[in-house]
Structure 1
Amino acid sequence: MTKQELIDAVASATGATKTSAGEVVDAFIATVTKAVVAEDTVQLVGFGSFSQGSRAARTGRNPATGEELQIAAAKTVKFTAGKAFKAAVNA
């Protein structure tokens, strides 16, 4: 599902216009992004939670040459699915 398909689905489910549904989807994405960047956890009961994680620096290997290289530490985004979401996917 693309972002536009999501907007269309939200608009048809709520009876709102596609423009207002698009604004809602954009606001939701911006709010979740801002919260996760600020290291807050966004928890949607029944759906899941978004949070920030970290990946330690490590040594990798170039598959073409076999040469070792250093991979820098990085921040990552974690999503943990909620119980109801898992049940819906596995039903």
Structure 2
Amino acid sequence: MTKPTKKAAPKTKATPELKATPEKKAVATPASASAPPAEKGKLAKTELTDQIAQRTDLTRKQASEAFDATVEVMLDALKSGKSVGLPGLGTLSVKATAARIGVRPGTSEKIQIPAGKKIAFKVAAGLKDSL
């Protein structure tokens, strides 16, 4: 009977360790969000809106609404064929792509790729020099 007792003991020990791990991750996430320059990777929308709220007199909700409105205006302009200039960052524009013949990977079959449009981004000279 001592063997089942020993097997039950490690299961109870493993459970607190599993509970402790998510708590550590939850604590680490806000700390990394407050210091994005030290962290490499993607800057999420929530982090962007948090930083906008910190640098302005807006609440988080107002910053999120302002960000959403900005993105909507940019998308509407791009859909209508206009370019969008972002001072200090660059310019987004719509470019037409020509129809062409491509090769299907794996089978080497020739396929016709239709003409279309794509979004192009040209980096601002000041940003390009500072990178």
Q: TM-score, with normalisation over the residues of structure 2?
A: 0.63
Aligned residue among 109, 112, 119 for 1:77: 119
Aligned residue among 35, 40, 46 for 2:77: 35
Of all paired residues, the percent bearing the same amino acid is 34
Distance 2:88 2:105 in 1: 41
Corresponding position of 1:24: 66
Shift of 1:15: 3.4
Indicate whether 1:15 and 2:57 are aligned. yes
Could you say which structure has the larger radius of gyration? 2
Distance 2:94 2:67 in 1: 21
Q: Specify the SS of the correspondent of 1:78.
A: strand
The letter of the residue matching 1:11 is A
Shift of 1:52: 0.6
Shift of 1:72: 1.1
Q: Specify the SS of the correspondent of 2:73.
A: helix
- Greater share of strand: 1
- Greater share of helix: 2
RMSD: 1.3
Shift of 1:45: 2.8
5+ long unaligned stretches in structure 1: none
Worse overlay, 10-19 or 25-34: 10-19
Corresponding position of 2:12: none
Q: TM-score, with normalisation over the residues of structure 1?
A: 0.88
Distance 2:129 2:53 in 1: 26
5+ long unaligned stretches in structure 2: 1-42
Relative CO higher for 1 or 2, CA cutoff 8 Å, sep ≥ 6? 1
Shift of 1:6: 1.0
The letter of the residue matching 1:43 is G
Distance 1:2 1:57 in 2: 35
